[in-house]
C-alpha cells in the first residue's frame, strides 16, 4: 500500500477515530487504526468491539492495500510532521515508511486480517435528522446519565423516535435532562433505543453543526452516518424507566433568573464545599435568590442573586453540581426555575424545548 495525502486531512480523520482506542486494549489490534486505500479513497476505522468509527478522505493512491497502525502513535507522528504533504508506503510486513519533507520514520503495524470486521445489521428503522439538532440534544442531556453500572440502563441516553418527535433523555435517578425536537418520521417505525454514553460522546465530538445525518437502528445496534463518517454502536439492552412520571405536571412558583449570573454565583459559593454530597441552600424572596453554603471544616458563604419573582417565600436545597450542570449547556440568557415546595422536585426550563428535573436535598 502506498499513498500521499495532505497532513491536515489525515490529522482531522485521525482525530475523529482515535479517541475510542484504549490505552490498554484487550487485544493489541484494538489499539490500531485500520487503513484501507482504494479507489482514490483512504478509509480509517477503529473499534473497541462495542463502538466502531469509520471515516474516509480523498488521497492520491499509488498502490492499493490495507494495514493497521498504532492509532495514537500514528496520530502523534502526523501531528508533528514538518511538511503539508505526507507520503506513506507500507511493505508486505506491515511496516509503514512515513515521509514528510526532511523527516522520515518507519512505524511497525499489524496485519489487517486480525482487525475485527465492522458489524453489519438489518435495520428496523431509518431516520433523517439535522446533525446540529442531534448534537445539540445530546449535549444538553448527556451529563445527567448515571455512572452506576449496577443500573446499566441509566448509564445510557434514551433516544425515542415517536409522534414525529425525537426525545432525548438522561437520568441518574436524582436529576433528569430532556430535549424534545420536532422531526418528520416519514412513515418510519417508531422506536426507542438506549445508547451507551461512550457512543454519545463520540457523536457529540464528530457531528457537525450543518448537514444531515441518517440514524439507523436494529434491535441491538445503531448506526449514524453523516458526511464521510459512520459510527456503529451496540445498544444497551433493557427497557428505560417511565421518566414522564417524575416530571411535575404543574409547579406553583416560577422564578426568572439570568443564567450566567446564577452559574457564576453557584460556582463561587461552592468554593466552601469539598463534599460532593454537600448542598447549597436556596432562599427565595421577592426578586431575590440567596445562595448559602457552609462547612464546619472550611467556613461559609452566601450570595444574593437578583431574580424576577413575586410569589411566596421559599427555601429549598440542591446539590450544587446538579444545580449548575444544565446552566453550562444552555445558551439562553434567561432561565426559569419552577418550584412547588421544599420537598418536591424543581424544574429548570428555558425558551427552548428543554427541561431539567432536579430532586431537592433534605436539610435539618
Per-residue confidence (pLDDT) for residue 1, from 0 to 100: 96
Q: How far apart are the first and last CA of the chain?
A: 70
3-state secondary structure of 157: strand
Per-residue confidence (pLDDT) for residue 19, from 0 to 100: 87
Q: Which CATH architecture has domain 2-114?
A: Roll (3.10)
Q: Torsion over CA of 185, 187, 189 and 195, rounded to 10 degrees? A: -20
Q: Are 255 and 309 in contact (CB under 8 A)?
A: yes
Instruction: Report residue 27 as a C-alpha cell.
Output: 487485544
| Pairwise CA distance, residues 207 & 227, whole Å | 9
Per-residue confidence (pLDDT) for residue 187, from 0 to 100: 66
Q: What is the pLDDT of residues 11-21, one digit of tens each?
A: 999 999 998 88
Going by C-alpha positions, the residue among 326, 325, 338, 340 that lies closest to residue 256 is 338
| Pairwise CA distance, residues 344 & 315, whole Å | 12
- Cβ neighbors of 289 (< 8 A, separation 6 or more) are 255, 257, 262, 282, 283, 304, 305, 306, 307, 309
Domain boundaries, the chain: 2-114, 125-244, 247-358
Fold: same for 2-114 and 247-358: yes
- Cβ neighbors of 115 (< 8 A, separation 6 or more) are 29, 32, 34, 45, 47, 68
| Pairwise CA distance, residues 221 & 210, whole Å | 25
Per-residue confidence (pLDDT) for residue 276, from 0 to 100: 67
In which residue ranges of the chain is pLDDT below 70?
23-25, 187, 276-277, 364
Question: Helices 71-79 and 7-17 sit at what angle, rounded to 10 degrees?
Answer: 150
- Pairing type for strands 103-108 and 221-226 reads unpaired
Q: What is the biggest distance separating any 2 CA atoms in the chain, rounded to whole angstroms? A: 78
Fold of domain 125-244: DNA Polymerase III; Chain A, domain 2 (3.10.150)
Per-residue confidence (pLDDT) for residue 303, from 0 to 100: 97
Sheet holding 51-58, edge to edge: 65-70, 32-38, 41-47, 51-58, 229-234, 221-226, 212-217, 125-130
pTM beyond cutoff 0.95: no
Per-residue confidence (pLDDT) for residue 119, from 0 to 100: 75
Q: What is the pLDDT of residues 278-313, one digit of tens each?
A: 899 999 999 999 999 988 888 899 999 999 999 999
Sign of CA dihedral 45, 200, 190, 235: positive
Per-residue confidence (pLDDT) for residue 21, from 0 to 100: 87
Class of 247-358 per CATH?
alpha beta
Amino acid at each position: 500500500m502506498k499513498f500521499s495525502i495532505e497532513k491536515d486531512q489525515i490529522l482531522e480523520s485521525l482525530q475523529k477515530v482515535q479517541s475510542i482506542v484504549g490505552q490498554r486494549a484487550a487485544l493489541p489490534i484494538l489499539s490500531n487504526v485500520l487503513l484501507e486505500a482504494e479507489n482514490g479513497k483512504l478509509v480509517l476505522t477503529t473499534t473497541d468491539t462495542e463502538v466502531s468509527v469509520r471515516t474516509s478522505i480523498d488521497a492520491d493512491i499509488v498502490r492499493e492495500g490495507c494495514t493497521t497502525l498504532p492509532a495514537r502513535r500514528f496520530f502523534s507522528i502526523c501531528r508533528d510532521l514538518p511538511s503539508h504533504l505526507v507520503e506513506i508506503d507500507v511493505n508486505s510486513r506491515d511496516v509503514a515508511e512515513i515521509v514528510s519533507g526532511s523527516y522520515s520514520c518507519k512505524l511497525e503495524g499489524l496485519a489487517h486480517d486480525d482487525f475485527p470486521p465492522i458489524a453489519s445489521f438489518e435495520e428496523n428503522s431509518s431516520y433523517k435528522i439535522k446533525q446540529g439538532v442531534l448534537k445539540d440534544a445530546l449535549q444538553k442531556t448527556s451529563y445527567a446519565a448515571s455512572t452506576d453500572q449496577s443500573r446499566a440502563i441509566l448509564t445510557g441516553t434514551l433516544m425515542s423516535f415517536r409522534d414525529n418527535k425525537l426525545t432525548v433523555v438522561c437520568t441518574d435517578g436524582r436529576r433528569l435532562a430532556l430535549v424534545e425536537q420536532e422531526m418528520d418520521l416519514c412513515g418510519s417505525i417508531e422506536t426507542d433505543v438506549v445508547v451507551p454514553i461512550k457512543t454519545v460522546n463520540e457523536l457529540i465530538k464528530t457531528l457537525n453543526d450543518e448537514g444531515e445525518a441518517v440514524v439507523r437502528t436494529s434491535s441491538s445496534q445503531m448506526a449514524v452516518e453523516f458526511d464521510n463518517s459512520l459510527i456503529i454502536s451496540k445498544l444497551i439492552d433493557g427497557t428505560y424507566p417511565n421518566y414522564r412520571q417524575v416530571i411535575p405536571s404543574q409547579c406553583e412558583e416560577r422564578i426568572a433568573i439570568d443564567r450566567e449570573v446564577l452559574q457564576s454565583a453557584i460556582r463561587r459559593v461552592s468554593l466552601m464545599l469539598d463534599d460532593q454530597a454537600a448542598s447549597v441552600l436556596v432562599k427565595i424572596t421577592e426578586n431575590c435568590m440567596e445562595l448559602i453554603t457552609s462547612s464546619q471544616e472550611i467556613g461559609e458563604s452566601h450570595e444574593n442573586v437578583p431574580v424576577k419573582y413575586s410569589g411566596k417565600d421559599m427555601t429549598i436545597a440542591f446539590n450544587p453540581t446538579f444545580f449548575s450542570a444544565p446552566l453550562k449547556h444552555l445558551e439562553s440568557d434567561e432561565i426559569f426555575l419552577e418550584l412547588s415546595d421544599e420537598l418536591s422536585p424543581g424544574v429548570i426550563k428555558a425558551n427552548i424545548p428543554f427541561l431539567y428535573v432536579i430532586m431537592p436535598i433534605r436539610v435539618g
